[in-house]
Amino acid sequence: MSRPCPCTSKRTFDQCCGPYLEGRRLPETAVLLMRSRFTAYALGRVDYLLQTTAAEKRAGLDREELASYCKAVRCVGLKIVATEAGGAGDEAGVVKFHASLQHNGKRTLHVERSTFVREEGAWRYVDGETN
């Protein structure tokens, strides 16, 4: 499939986040996990969102709530602003991003500094600070 990836990388879904969402590959860096989670929000892939959340935070998530959030919001674009660590050889990392969202017909800019850790070799989202 050659549709553009929802994370707005300008690559195709198959060459970008597709393999991660389909479980064929693990994102090597925190940024790649971040991008794939944005795509999962865009496509309403709640299982992927739960699976890529750090174990300590997963219990606090509500599947229904996540699903209705995904439905209510349109993920327009993603811009990675800064990263700290989060590379192939790291155990933790930080990604700062701007996500353009549309909610109830209104465009908003979600600014977040997200923290990621590696659990059993796989990057997971811990939490984020928004402003």
Binding site for Zn ion (CB under 5 A): 5, 7, 9, 16-17, 35, 39
Q: Which is nearer to Zn ion, 1 or 59 (CB)?
A: 1
Q: Which is nearer to Zn ion, 19 or 128 (CB)?
A: 19
- CA 50 to CA 46: how far, in whole Å? 6
Strand, helix or coil at 61?
Answer: coil
Strand partners, 123: 118
At its nearest, how many Å lie between Zn ion and the CB of residue 94? 20
At CA 89, angle to CA 88 and CA 91, rounded to 5? Answer: 100
Q: Which is nearer to Zn ion, 7 or 33 (CB)?
A: 7
Q: In this structure, what token pair is assigned to residue 24?
A: 């064929």
- CA 80 to CA 45: how far, in whole Å? 21
At its nearest, how many Å lie between Zn ion and the CB of residue 60? 26
Q: Which residue has tokens 């060459």?
A: 15
Give the number of other CB atoms < 10 A from CB of residue 75.
20
Q: Which is nearer to Zn ion, 64 or 93 (CB)?
A: 93
At its nearest, how many Å lie between Zn ion and the CB of residue 38? 7
At its nearest, how many Å lie between Zn ion and the CB of residue 76? 14
